[in-house]
Amino acid sequence: MSMSFSEKVIQKCIVAFLIILSVIALIPLLSVLSVSFSSRVPVELNQVTIWPKGFTLDSWKYVLDRPDLWRSFGVTAIATIVGTVLSLLITALLAYPLTKKEFTIGKVVMLAAVITMVFKAPLIPYFLTMKNIGLYDNPLVLVIPHILTAYNLIIMRTFFLEFPSELEEAAVVEGAGYFRLLFNIVLPLSKAVLATLGLFYAVTIWNQFQHPLMFIQNPDWYPLQIKIRQFITSDNELQIVGNMSQLNYSARTLRAVTIVFAIVPILMIYPYLQKYFTKGAMLGSVKG
């Protein structure tokens, strides 16, 4: 491909612009990371930008010694693992029949699913329904509302539809029923879509804020996001420790630690799943 001189210049400019943009996108993360490892005084003297000043682990020690934070972490971790497995299971169990023409109510079910994408129930009737079925102040509320979305259902169904039918037919000849077809033939070969939707579900459950804000009253069941929010906004307790001048940390460095603390697990699973999710996100776009 030959390009004229001016085009080469334009292209170079675009690449440079994108590199600068990527750096800008990462600077906030680097900034909060370096504050979390910096001592109190340089932070207060505006000396910390994207590199720690007066490297110290004191803030981290203080935060990581808090049992309530670890409890929230545990609540969120368990909800995420249980919720992701359950979500994938129930989504697959509904998506699979939708690929079979013997499943005579399939069209109605698809329509009903798509309608939920256009018409969302107002918040209050939703809240009251959840309360009526016993999910108020119940840790299950961290999992159950996220089990299924029409969008993910459509992605999974589209993936199953592209599945070569010969494999299933061979198994049917050997007397396999629908359950064995799904669990022994289809799902083992659907790792790409399971990884993608698994990531989507896991991130949704890990990051959820509105549901626990509305439904969880008991502090024992606060998930991580609620806990972090409390640290960020009403940090009276942190302010008191932070203002004692002999300490090497401040409210701000402690806040930075809690933020980084909540990001780390997401960033740790991200590289493993990255190769899958672009494909999955594209699958979703086919339907639009």
Q: Which of residues 107-136 bind other proteins (CB under 8 A)?
A: 109, 112-113, 116, 118-130, 133
Q: Taking CB under 8 A as the rule, does residue 182 contact other proteins?
A: yes
Residue 217, CA atoms < 13 Å, CB-side half-sphere: 4
Instruction: Specify the residue, 67 or 288, whose C-beta has the smaller distance to other proteins.
Output: 288
Contacts of 274 (CB under 8 A, 6+ apart): none
Per CB under 8 A, the list member of 217, 234, 243, 278 interacting with other proteins is 278
Q: Whole-number minimum distance, CB 163 to other proteins, in Å?
A: 16
Q: Which span (20-28, 56-64, 161-169, 234-242) binds other proteins, by CB under 8 A? A: 20-28
Q: How far apart are the first and last CA of the chain?
A: 33
Binding to other proteins (CB under 8 A): which residues in 32-61? Answer: 32, 35, 43-50
- Cβ atoms of 87 and 146 within 8 Å: the answer is yes
Binding to other proteins (CB under 8 A): which residues in 216-245? Answer: 225, 228-229, 232
Nearest-angstrom CA–CA distance, 229 and 216? 14
Nearest-angstrom CA–CA distance, 214 and 251? 27
Per CB under 8 A, the list member of 9, 14, 57, 161 interacting with other proteins is 14
DSSP state of 53: S
Binding to other proteins (CB under 8 A): which residues in 240-269? Answer: 252, 255-256, 258-259, 262-263, 266-267
Per CB under 8 A, the list member of 57, 68, 74, 103 interacting with other proteins is 103
Measured CA to CA in angstroms, residue 70 lies from 60, 66, 199, 222 at distances of 13, 7, 23, 11
